[in-house]
Structure 1
């Protein structure tokens, strides 16, 4: 393999890297999701080794000991956050690709250095004289290997004594020295080699980092050699492409430059003009946004969704600077897909969803931007020349208008101003705490130690529930109060592992099974089943009778009726998903589900409410597919084959080497079936078993997410019976037939409204008539107290205003005792508000009725209380007027 310097595309560089290591015994592993599946402490996948973290720690095994990947990475939140620098430097990106090769106890330093040197000098054709290496100062072995394998002279092997060249996974765990490979741009570029005072210059650029994982860091800070040393490497594709294409700026490489030019073309602006940084921000953020959405992240107020929103809005702000007056961001997506769609098919598969999400967010943000920028301009005008914008104002922009701090900083940077970040952080402290709570622990959480230990000792649980609801099994583990025990007795709440089980562990939205374990003189009621540590099925139950012992043989039996109802709702969800996509568009994607025995709940990406007409069409189509009574088939295949055959996969879900592909409904439009999905749940054998399907409700969950609740089978029959009974009772009360009831009810409602209007008018006339006759003089002030009985409280203000107009000057107090409660309104004519405040008077009245205050204006206020004591209220007001 030989390439030519300055004449290689980014796609060719990526392919060459993977092919090289594939030819050298490495499994080419597709990029994992940007949402980590094995580390709840990470916001996003921020390094190439993250998907293999549990392999390095020994918590997970793979069927290969060598791997190579081109891993998509985002650094835009948490500890690893490059967001603020993006667009203003030659190297910083929020999204980038990390090329890597990994050895899990297979080869070590010599082979890793050999692979790297051979690929760089022979594969990519980099001149040897342009390369140098760093090693950890104590790692003489690595230094000797660089001399021996690469022939590097001593002056090109730089010893680094700091932690920069010693990698740790954490305070404890695998660790080891690093060795970095640098490219020398030549003496005409300012900068010095690593470790020198001028190391921050651009002459020497790091292109590859090799981590020699050879120790285990113990809690006291001591290290012990690992029995199987491993290799973890990373080479940033964009930085390497800059070297290979003769550039010093990643934004000048082919992929990013094409995105910069796409923005320039869309807005007819100069990509290298005064707003050059804005073009670069948009190019980078376009990649981050598209890939995050493809992996299941959507804009939100906290967590990962909040970071995505920050990225998107920052890009949109820069598009505004470039002259955009309407949504533009989503129109740049085709340019990205042309560059990266072949390497990352999720961009193509989710193109519609990505575009819909981008356009909807830009439309919302544009409306906020105008108001937010107006406030920013007003507040900035109050800040002295050279002063920082107060943190409280920056927080208000965030809290009211959704402006992230960095967007405010960007806007002020144009004026040479800064923000009081400490003040902002103080105001944001509570929100940040909630945001952290929202994302820490998402994904596959690290299971309790007991289940990690059990997985190592006992292996995965064998699930037989696809074909059986009853089986014999052996008790492998009993846990009580979080600890393993040998036996347990009646009344004990326990968690149980079996060697094989028909019980389904809750996952994929399907609730866990219930049922019973029994043997001679033993009965355990299982009230829940959960998955732990990935593939352990844990049964939670209560011992009703007998003694449970480890090693005991039992019969495990699932609650058949409940399972039948659950799998009916799960199967109906598949048909619902496909019907929604056909009627609303391919942007519809599952964002959450619940499949329970009594209902299903299905959350989907959808930017607007679903109309009643659309819901009716969806429901009709699902029922038509159910009536086909077609076979529901399951096939086992690789994820790649499944997707190639049209199966719907959820990006962000963790799929193994083999997946279950569930098909149902007759195929049309060239498809083998109506619905084709990757799914590990349990389903009906034929669609007819689902029974009738009814949509119960549709509602919004968050921006861009709609929720549908529905029922099927027995639950739908029950709903129909209850609905018919309610209609029968309503018709009976209306003295009409069921078919006549709607018209009769409509007539009664209109009649009631007419009567209410008449009554209200009569009450108003009665209340306001002869105001002078009902008045009294208190301390020289005209006072009119009236107890209006059952008059609706909402009418009191209008009546008080009318009486006040009649008398010209005075105080009016009106009480309603409707529904056995007190409601009082006090009105004070304008000429008396300097002496008497209606709010103060009404609060005195409220206290007499057992209430807790009231509110309003100085001339009109209202309050209430549970005790309608009119005389006491009027007495309290008279006393206040007399004071």
Structure 2
């Protein structure tokens, strides 16, 4: 049974049982505790936490959620169990059925015949575990389902009690295992051998609330939940292993094709270690080499799928957060392929194979393939350059080891190559072996362990209990705010609630900062990159300035206000008025963002995809995924296309429709957003721009006014940002630019259009003059070198030139002086030291140089620089023949010069 069919059977089973099918949420959710969605229940947390009522007719739901877990990336491939991406099939009950319903639903799907829509598993091969004191679940399994008591095992809190790791819902769970047979291990159920008995399904009976604590079993149960809920998770990949009769997930229909392509690209063969193991060989060098190769194949297969799914949901490679995880996964693919024997590019063919296996379940992959391909191939190209530069760094480090007659590359050097330069440790080990060296991997591992410990500690520190939003719960459940702002900027409303300091209050007097909850409002709450409206709320007894508007539970508008006069009270009928100028200019900016997005895609193509935006009155910024800096001509074309759309005066239409219909229309969606079944499409000029958007927009594109692109910049690896003005702000900017250009035109006595050419001409002349000044200065300094050499002190056979040169001499000029001095003394043993002060920057550059004859006597310019640096509050270093540094305390210059002779004497004496 193919994985796609397994998914369909699961959903169909629970839909027939009355559950609402819920599409998988994006892997990226707005949750401070999670980089990625890592469990099937994550999108349903607001319902389990009691923040919102579930919107499902029968109070039940089912989904197949895509998940990513990345805490143990290094373990992937070592065993066949670890996967970074997996699909979690689940069914959920919010205060409806409980243990018996969850157990019977799971059992019927697993054991019903294939003809009846089930998976057709042999009931005799299924075992279950329950929590230690969960007699109720054990009785259901035995008495209702008919599982013999000997196949029902009890485990403690660490194994059979679930929580989110922070205060919140929790409860005992029951897990279903499949016995793969005696060939896989010892008889006796999962408590004896969890390799033979593979877990398929976890049924969580969410009935309690946990308090503070750490770990899986060191927290307090503070009491029962108001409603008992069900959260289950069935591992799609694990069921696929059983139903496809394969050993592990890497042999299923989703990943096996990727390994096959990897074999073709590398010339290596997967599975050789298993062949050797079956022959009884698990200790030879050949076995270990084959096992290492198999690990690399599994890394490629696993990470390709995870990487594709992350890129699909809008992640781009970067140096922190989600981007860092993606970059790490992609680079592990590349290096694994290289170590297996690949010599050219591999990413496109590997990713194309994943596309073929995953598209039946995720059709949106096909729609986004060109962007996915571009991101993956772009990262491979960049990393191959990193490997090239890293190879040079490795060769330098290896040469130093050999020069000192050593045989071990120290762990710090290997860690620096890995952590700072992105050079993989296994490549370092392999190249070291080729050079006749070994790597101190213990020291490297220690540094890696320290880094991981810091990362995990940082991750734990970022986790926190969910904010207490219980004060808003009655409003979320019973009084959703009616938003009237699409058609009005002033409406009447009734104050349903006032919140101050996290508590409900009846009234708020002048000077109070409170949150006002109205039954209906014209105020736009911040979302979709658009800032909230500003304005006033006035009633019979008082008036308040609206400074911000936020949503809670996606249903209730919280107006953050300061009462500026009188008093507001619950029950008052008030007038809510949006600042007209604010709203007008905010609409211009938001609609202008859509024009910029459309123009961007015309100029750069479909791979340029929105990665975020922010709109405030008169200003917009638009982030998009793209791997290169935009040229001036590209920016000009984007600006021109946007303004042509303004001039064309397109009608702006909004369409309320289903999500499926919106996608069929070609409407673009923002990655990472989770849309409901009904969405709002904003259409500007028909095919020119069509996006899912809940924001406030103009009615005709001409109302946006002129759009002025200010420029573009990088905001992270693979993400660029365009900033622009709209409307009157754009006019003001252009007017200021006109004044500047007119002033320059008048000053240079040339037409405005010739100003850039004239500025360029003057700049070139200045640059030429600066070059000539530098040449004169260098010549002047060279002429003085003879005087410095003539005044040199002697230390034995050594000549010591130490001098303070005129202020303002750069480090580069000091190097010229040092080389000139060395040339003047020829083959004699000599040392030259020059130091200067830069009054403008406050820096004190200095340099030391030693002739070959001086170095032979034991003198080191690097040691001289290190010894002198403290006199001027600086630091420095370098090689024995030449070294330089910089300080910040010019008062110590004379003392530094005086110290040089003594430092040289010690070097020679030593």
TM-score (norm 1): 0.84
Q: CA deviation at 1:100?
A: 1.8
Q: 2:481 aligns with which of 461, 467, 486?
A: 461
Q: Check conservation: 1:824, 1:842, Cα contact below 8 A.
A: no
Partner of 2:34 in structure 1?
Answer: 42
The CA deviation at 1:758 is 4.5
Moved more, 529-538 or 247-256: 529-538
User: C-alpha displacement at 1:476, in angstroms?
Assistant: 3.4
Match for residue 253 of structure 2? 254
CA RMSD across the alignment: 4.4
* CA offset digits 1:657-711 (Å, max 9, x no partner): 322111102x3xxxxx211111111111111111111211111121111111111
CA distance in 2, matches of 1:457, 1:50: 20
CA contact (8 A) 1:800 1:825 kept: no
Is 1:25 aligned with 2:18?
Answer: yes
1:175 aligns with 2:170: yes
Q: Counterpart of 2:907? A: none
Match of 2:87 in 1: 97
Distance 2:24 2:253 in 1: 21
Residues 1:431 and 1:735: Cα distance change in structure 2 (over 3 Å): farther
Matches within 5 A, 1:430-829: 446-449=466-469, 452-453=472-473, 455-456=475-476, 459-519=479-539, 522-665=542-685, 667=686, 673-762=687-776, 798=816
Q: Distance in 2 between matches of 1:783 and 1:413?
A: 46
| 2:194 match | 200
Contact map agreement 2:530 2:695 (CA 8 A) in 1? yes
Per the alignment, in what secondary structure is the counterpart of residue 633 of structure 1? strand
Report deviation, 1:471. 1.8
Separation in structure 2 between the aligned mates of residue 828 and residue 495 of structure 1, nearest angstrom: 70
1:175–1:213 contact (8 Å) kept in structure 2? yes
Aligned mates of 1:390, 1:882 — CA distance in 2: 34
Q: Distance in 2 between matches of 1:165 and 1:881?
A: 75
The range that moved more, 450-459 or 734-743, is 450-459
Q: Residue 66 in 1 paired to residue 60 in 2?
A: yes
**Mapped partners of 2:328, 2:85: distance in 1:** 14
The residue number in structure 2 matching 1:341 is: 359
Determine the C-alpha separation between the residues in 1 that align with 2:588 and 2:422.
42
Structure 1 residue 107: Cα displacement = 1.8
Match of 1:244 in 2: 243
Is the Cα contact below 8 Å between 2:552 and 2:558 reproduced in 1? yes
Structure 2: gaps spanning 5 or more residues: 113-117, 213-218, 273-289, 904-910
Pick closer, same or farther for the CA change 1:280–1:732 going to 2, 3 Å: same
Take 2:413 and 2:785, find their aligned partners in 1: how far apart are those partners?
52
Deviates more, 1:769-778 or 1:232-241: 769-778
**In the TM superposition, what is the alpha-carbon distance from 1:283 to its structure 2 partner?**
1.4
Give the C-alpha shift of residue 810 in structure 1: 9.7
Unaligned runs of 5+ in 1: 1-7, 668-672
What residue number does 2:449 align with? 425
- Secondary structure of 1:577's counterpart equals helix
The CA deviation at 1:246 is 2.1
Contact 2:411/2:439, CA 8 A, preserved across alignment: no
Matched, 1:185 2:180: yes
Q: Report the Cα offset of residue 145 of structure 1.
A: 2.8
Give the C-alpha shift of residue 738 in structure 1.
Answer: 2.0
Deviation readout 1:49-106 (Å, 9 max, x if unpaired):
22222222322222321211112122222xxx4x344323343322121222222222
Q: State the alpha-carbon separation in 1 of the partners of residues 259 and 351 from structure 2.
A: 12
CA pair 471-284 structure 1, distance change in 2 beyond 3 A: same
Distance 1:396 1:18 in 2: 49
Contact 1:846/1:865 (<8 A) preserved: no
Separation of aligned partners in 1, 2:7 and 2:433: 36
2:375 to 353, 357, 380: 357
Instruction: Identify the range of structure 1 (403-412 vs 276-285) with the bigger mean alpha-carbon deviation.
Output: 403-412
Q: 1:518·1:524 contact (CA, 8 Å) conserved in 2?
A: yes
Alpha-carbon distance in structure 2 between the residues aligned to 1:452 and 1:577? 37
Alpha-carbon deviation of 1:469?
Answer: 1.5
Question: Which residue does the alignment assign to 1:285?
Answer: 303
3-state DSSP of counterpart to 2:420 = helix
Question: In 1, distance between residues paired with 2:753 and 2:194?
Answer: 82
Indicate conservation of the 8 Å contact 2:15/2:21, yes or no.
yes
Give the Cα separation in 2 of the matches to 1:417 and 1:252. Answer: 36
Out of 301, 315, 328, the residue aligned to residue 310 of structure 1 is: 328
Are 1:124 and 2:119 counterparts?
yes
- Counterpart CA distance in 1 for 2:806 and 2:389 is 47
How big is each residue's C-alpha offset from its partner over 1:466-519, in whole Å with a ceiling of 9 and x where there is no partner? 111122233334344555444333334333333322222222211222222234
Within 1, Cα distance between the matches of 2:42 and 2:898? 76
**What's the CA shift for 1:248?**
2.8
TM alignment of 1:92-171, pairs within 5 A: 92-122=82-112, 123-160=118-155, 163-170=158-165
Q: CA deviation at 1:403?
A: 5.1
CA distance in 2, matches of 1:380, 1:767: 37
Distance 1:553 1:835, change over 3 A: same
Change beyond 3 A, Cα 1:427–1:112: closer
Contact residue 67 and residue 103 of structure 1 kept, 8 A: yes
What corresponds to 1:3 in structure 2? none
Change (3 A) 1:743 1:138: closer
> Equivalents in 2 of 1:373, 1:768: separation in Å?
39
Q: Do residues 369 (structure 1) and 387 (structure 2) align?
A: yes
1:294 and 2:312 correspond: yes
User: 2 CA distance for matches of 1:380 and 1:864?
Assistant: 31
Q: Does 1:401 align with 2:421?
A: yes
Using the alignment, how far apart are the partners of 2:475 and 2:2 within structure 1?
45
| Count of residues in correspondence between the two structures | 850
The CA deviation at 1:214 is: 3.8
SS in 1 for 2:260: helix
**Partners of 1:86 and 1:865 in 2: how far apart?**
50
Closer, same or farther in 2 for the Cα pair 1:698/1:433, shift >3 Å? farther
CA contact (8 A) 2:334 2:380 kept: yes
Please give the alpha-carbon distance, in whole angstroms, between the structure 2 residues aligned to 1:173 and 1:180.
Answer: 21
What secondary structure, in the 3-state scheme, does the structure 2 residue paired with 1:524 have?
A: strand
TM-score (norm 2): 0.82
CA contact 1:473–1:553 (8 Å) conserved in 2:
yes
Identify if the C-alpha distance between structure 1 residues 406 and 645 changes in structure 2 by more than 3 Å, giving closer, same or farther: farther
Which residue of structure 2 aligns with residue 670 of structure 1?
none
